[in-house]
Structure 1
Amino acid sequence: MLSFMNHSSPLKIIFNVAAMILLLLFIGVSVSYGTTEIDLATVWQAIFYFNSDLTSHQVIQELRLPRAFSAALVGAFLAVSGAIMQGMTRNPLASPSIMGVTDGAAFALVMTLAFFPRLPGAGLTVSSFIGAGLAVALIFMIGSFSKGGLTPVKLALAGVAIGTMLRSITSVTAFHFNLEKELGFWIAGGLDGSNWTQVKLLLISGIIGLLVAVFISKSITVLSLGEDMAIGLGQNNLIIKALGIISILIMTGAAVSVAGAVGFVGLIVPHITRFIMGTDYRWIIPSSAIFGALLLVIADIVSRLINAPFETPVGAITSLIGVPFFLYLARGSGGGK
């Protein structure tokens, strides 16, 4: 997909800055909107001139700010993970949700809640990393051992199959251990329980994943042109893929441990970003982080507006956008390449 901006770096910078301003604006809207609406002036005061005696300031600091920041970070991490997956596999349908990575993380989380219920939040995050890693290992192993080797379509099919299998095991385990409520949260995806501890976990793990992603961004651009071309240019694809997978596991694991299986962000955002920014992953990865954060913050606001005063799972909102987008891409990328 070609960029309508061609190679105009100043225009891309302006577009990213505009997206960041919009992100800050919608974070402000997210913080101000809730069961009780709070004006933006009060939000500003609560952030920079916090008064613990005011209930509105406590609500903003302890409930709404962590939720807004969690939405931004989760959206950024899922979008960047999707961009890396699409670049490494040259598969336009690749994303953490479709390729079974989020199902692997949710599987590990439910298993941990079933057998180690007293494990602290950090332990749940680590378990989600392990589950995501298990899913990726199984997907690449099955895809590689199939006749004709690993192709983008086989990778997608393996992802769907492994994701379905892990989701089934997760459901059976949850019902047996009476974890239906927890399972419902992971399947639907939500941010209503976000707190500062989770924000810190997202920041620590996610920043590591983002730094790795930015570090290999130039190499992913080369890899996205084809493995043979990358090898011909002297690139060690095995190391790049290993670093890419580590980055995906860290970011997806952290995102799922906080928000559950929020789908399609990692599918939609990289395509939009490539259309705007072109095919250079040095632009795609940081821009995907901004656009992914913006998308999920807006989706979280819509989830509270669409059926107020009740909340709609944010995963349902992203799916409403993502399913038609997925069908469009699947129709356009048919065949066996």
Structure 2
Amino acid sequence: MRLKIPISILILCSSPIAFVLIVLLSILYGAKDINFETVWEAFFHFDPENVNHQIVIHSRLPRAIGALLIGIFLAISGSIMQGMTRNYLASPSILGVSDGSVFAITLCMIFMPDASSLSMIIFSLLGSAIAVGFVFGVASLMPNGMSPVRMAIIGTIIGTFLSSISAALSTYFQVSQNISFWYNARLHQMDPFLIKLAIPFAIVGIIMALYISKSLTILSLGEEVSVSLGQKTVLVKALAMASTVILTGISVALAGNIGFVGLIIPHITRFLIGIDYRWVIPCAGVLGGIFLALSDILSRFLNYPFETPIGVVTSLIGVPFFLYLIYKRGGGTYA
């Protein structure tokens, strides 16, 4: 009798191996190929005078780790948003949450040019929170505003508005050169110190997401079902939004605005393992990290030896996926 291993267990158990392989590929390949022997020496016999060792440790390793972490954060955020709102189009980029973070960072760079890295993270979190409140506030005031397509339209409009204001302010105050990092999502400029600062915030956000995962499964079945089972929906939604704000905010602070990861990955995860969010959230995190890290590697070869912005790669996959969802689902919820 053959033992059938659940796909969720398979994904989680194989994730360490997958992460190590992807990090290794990310370090080895780029505008300048570096052989495995050099990588090994850089890790275990680092020579500060060796340019290749410097590239491995101070450029490609932080970039690979950053891509994995951001993919994890955005995929979990998207899963939470889709489960909480029962909106198959919900994601940090489409609902304007990422644009809120960029807007807040723009203000920080204008009025606090000497702000620390921690201050940038705090401002990014505040921007995410403001954008979330704005989108859901406007949607709740409009007739049928919580429907998937209408909420996506509202989020896109508010996100575009915040992005336009950010661009105008950065041009007026002549900081557009400095702020361009957050518009173009340049993973190759990943700051290792910022990654270390972001880890404690990420741990809090992920713990909150896992804590409400069971309640999120019930909530994704509908508000009435959730209330009838005695669930405190207000508390669950508050924790869900707090987790989303934290994970999205630190993602933008680390590498700028990256779209569609939080839209695509939750759908793929639910297709593979079902709608139990106790498994969807961790598995989406794993798949999101793999997806963004592989997209980053692909971005180096689309226009070799020049790099293509990571946002272009995710959009090439995300835009058709977005249109497909609208075509197949119309205006209904996914559950």
Alignment-derived partner of residue 93 in structure 2: 97
- Quick one: distance in 2 between partners of 1:11 and 1:215? 22
- 1:119 has 2:115 as partner: yes
User: Is contact 1:73–1:202 with CA below 8 Å preserved after alignment?
Assistant: no
Structure 1, unaligned runs of 5 or more:
1-7
How much does 1:55 deviate?
Answer: 3.3
Please report the TM-score for the alignment, with normalisation by the length of structure 1.
Answer: 0.93
- Quick one: distance in 2 between partners of 1:189 and 1:299? 13
Per-residue displacement from partner, 1:27-80 (whole Å, max 9, x unpaired)? 101012233321223323423443445432232111111111011001110010
- 1:180 has 2:176 as partner: yes
Alignment-derived partner of residue 202 in structure 1: 198
| Amino acid paired to 1:192 | H
Alignment-derived partner of residue 163 in structure 2: 167
- Quick one: distance in 1 between partners of 2:331 and 2:63? 41
User: Is contact 2:90–2:263 with CA below 8 Å preserved after alignment?
Assistant: yes
- 1:322 has 2:318 as partner: yes
Per-residue displacement from partner, 1:236-280 (whole Å, max 9, x unpaired)? 011011001110111100000111110000001101111111111
- Quick one: distance in 2 between partners of 1:90 and 1:133? 20
1:228 to 224, 228, 239: 224
2:264 to 261, 264, 268: 268
- 1:138 has 2:121 as partner: no
Structure 2, unaligned runs of 5 or more:
none
**SS state at 2:204 partner:** helix
Per-residue displacement from partner, 1:273-292 (whole Å, max 9, x unpaired)? 11111111111110111111
**SS state at 2:188 partner:** coil
- Quick one: distance in 2 between partners of 1:97 and 1:47? 36
Count of aligned pairs between the two proteins: 330
| Amino acid paired to 2:38 | T
* Residue identity (%): 45
Alignment-derived partner of residue 5 in structure 1: none
Alignment-derived partner of residue 212 in structure 2: 216
> Cα gap change, 1:130/1:306 in structure 2, threshold over 3 Å: closer, same or farther?
same
User: Is contact 1:70–1:202 with CA below 8 Å preserved after alignment?
Assistant: no
- Quick one: distance in 1 between partners of 2:146 and 2:181? 34
- Quick one: distance in 1 between partners of 2:44 and 2:81? 39
- Quick one: distance in 1 between partners of 2:162 and 2:145? 23
| CA RMSD, Structure 1 to Structure 2 (Å) | 1.7
- Stretch moving more, 264-273 or 15-24: 15-24
- Quick one: distance in 1 between partners of 2:28 and 2:291? 18
| Amino acid paired to 2:311 | G
- 1:156 has 2:149 as partner: no
| Amino acid paired to 1:121 | S
> Cα gap change, 1:177/1:269 in structure 2, threshold over 3 Å: closer, same or farther?
same
Per-residue displacement from partner, 1:195-254 (whole Å, max 9, x unpaired)? 211221232211111111011111110100001100111100110110011101111000
- Stretch moving more, 326-335 or 20-29: 20-29
| Amino acid paired to 1:36 | K
Alignment-derived partner of residue 74 in structure 1: 70
> Cα gap change, 1:318/1:11 in structure 2, threshold over 3 Å: closer, same or farther?
closer
Alignment-derived partner of residue 55 in structure 1: 51
Report matched runs for 1:288-299 at 5 Å.
Answer: 288-299=284-295
How much does 1:120 deviate?
Answer: 1.1
| Amino acid paired to 2:156 | V
**SS state at 1:198 partner:** helix
Alignment-derived partner of residue 299 in structure 2: 303
- Quick one: distance in 2 between partners of 1:148 and 1:137? 17
**SS state at 2:305 partner:** coil
User: Is contact 2:96–2:131 with CA below 8 Å preserved after alignment?
Assistant: yes
